[in-house]
Chain A
Amino acid sequence: MPGNPEFGKRIRGLREARKKTDPSFSLRRFAQTVGISATYLSKVETCEFPPPASDKIKRMAQLLGEDPDELLALAGKFDPALSEIIREQPKALADFLRTARDRQLTDEDIEELTRQIREKK
């Protein structure tokens, strides 16, 4: 199974930077805290295996102090909680997302809209 070079290299880079000051970021201890085997983590980092499941990636982000959505995106995944959010208001949110796509909104446009929504009382 092919791995994901962007994801693997990013995780290895982040973990190696942290492990120079904190030995708990060793391959085995990090793998065990995330809940995967050391061999699996090793092969994800060398891009031989694909990234793990979304909940494991979220745990990695939490431990490494990184944005989980960014790591999930690198792995070609998204937060499984999003499906739940859409399920709560399926019609309105589907319409909202499709409109955003049809209007070809850029990342900046979406960030601006998010800011406006946040500020709305």
Chain B
Amino acid sequence: MQVKYLPEKHIRDSALCLLAKYGERFGPVERPPIPVEEILEAHLELQLGFDDLAKRLGVPDVLGATWVRDRRVLIDQSLDPTQHPLKEGRYRFTVAHEIGHWELHRHVYQADANQPSLFDGPDKPSIVCRARSGKDRQEWQADTFSGDLLMPEDMVYLAWEERFGSLEPYVAVDEIADLSAKWGLGEDDHKPTVAAARELARVFQVSGQAMQIRLAELGLICTQVPPPDLFSRPGTIVRS
């Protein structure tokens, strides 16, 4: 289903507003990690569960699915962190992603629920999220929401400053090149995660990859050589 365009600021505000509302009810969340399961289960009062989703839905690589009318979210059991602790980051990102669908897209499906389709079985989820599917607008919005909720901007800046003593960005080009050479990665592979991203990932309980993407978005890690800037001193980068 095609959802409408949302500015990034709208998505970020939705995530922060949800966190604030959770805080009003259960006590403020001042430090990471963000309690995403508690937000989904206790605050939004959705039912969370685990299942073999590929088997249940008959499509491969499903990470999560949301049944809007039943207020139910299922996560693929391969991500259960009580059985697979290394999947913790990926699991939490998927939970936050499904919360993103609930916050940003549920009204589309609630409206649609009044027009039952002949082709929909009773157990058909409203939204199915797959690992390798091309990211359409709806999936992109949920991913953005997930990043904003798990790694709120202010908390990331604060954590960075606490750890590294200033908000000076880290130009990670050399470290990435070294790691890529060590692991034999090519230009088209995912960029390896640098030590600073891995360290903060533990604080926010997200994957190193997600943390690195967030740090790059916020201008704290530069994964490419910054272009020369006439208005800044050599060797410094001005964040817009």
Name A residues whose Cβ lies closer than 8 Å to a Cβ of B: 12, 16, 19-20, 22-23, 25-29, 31-32, 37-39, 42-43, 45-46
Question: Within the complex, which residue of B41, B77, B81 is in contact with A26, where a contact is CB–CB below 8 Å?
Answer: B41
Q: Would you call B42 and A43 a contact (CB within 8 A)?
A: no
**Is B228 in the interface zone, CB < 8 Å from A?**
no
A106 to B182, CA, bound (A): 76
Find residues 25-70 in chain B having any chain A CB closer than 8 Å to their own CB: 26, 35, 37-38, 41-43, 45, 47-51
A43 to B50, CA, bound (A): 7
User: Which A residues are CB-close (under 8 A) to B45?
Assistant: 16, 20
**Is B153 in the interface zone, CB < 8 Å from A?**
no
**Chain B residue with the shortest CB-CB distance to A39:** B50
Within the complex, what minimum Cβ distance (angstroms) separates B77 from chain A?
Answer: 5
Question: Within the complex, which residue of B26, B37, B47 is in contact with A28, where a contact is CB–CB below 8 Å?
Answer: B37
**Is B133 in the interface zone, CB < 8 Å from A?**
no
A43 to B56, CA, bound (A): 13
Name B residues whose Cβ lies closer than 8 Å to a Cβ of A: 26, 35, 37-38, 41-43, 45, 47-51, 77, 80-83
Question: Within the complex, which residue of B42, B43, B47, B82 is in contact with A38, where a contact is CB–CB below 8 Å?
Answer: B82
Q: Would you call A37 and B80 a contact (CB within 8 A)?
A: yes
A20 to B41, CA, bound (A): 8
A51 to B22, CA, bound (A): 32
**Chain B residue with the shortest CB-CB distance to A21:** B42
**Chain A residue with the shortest CB-CB distance to B35:** A23
User: Which A residues are CB-close (under 8 A) to B83?
Assistant: 37-39
A46 to B73, CA, bound (A): 13
**Chain B residue with the shortest CB-CB distance to A45:** B49
User: Which A residues are CB-close (under 8 A) to B26?
Assistant: 23
Contact A39/B38 with A23-B26, A27-B49, A45-B49 known, Cβ cut-off 8 Å: no
User: Which B residues are CB-close (under 8 A) to A28?
Assistant: 37, 81-82
**Chain B residue with the shortest CB-CB distance to A19:** B42
Q: Would you call A19 and B80 a contact (CB within 8 A)?
A: no
Within the complex, what minimum Cβ distance (angstroms) separates B87 from chain A?
Answer: 12
User: Which A residues are CB-close (under 8 A) to B37?
Assistant: 26-29
User: Which B residues are CB-close (under 8 A) to A27?
Assistant: 37, 41, 48-49
A22 to B42, CA, bound (A): 7
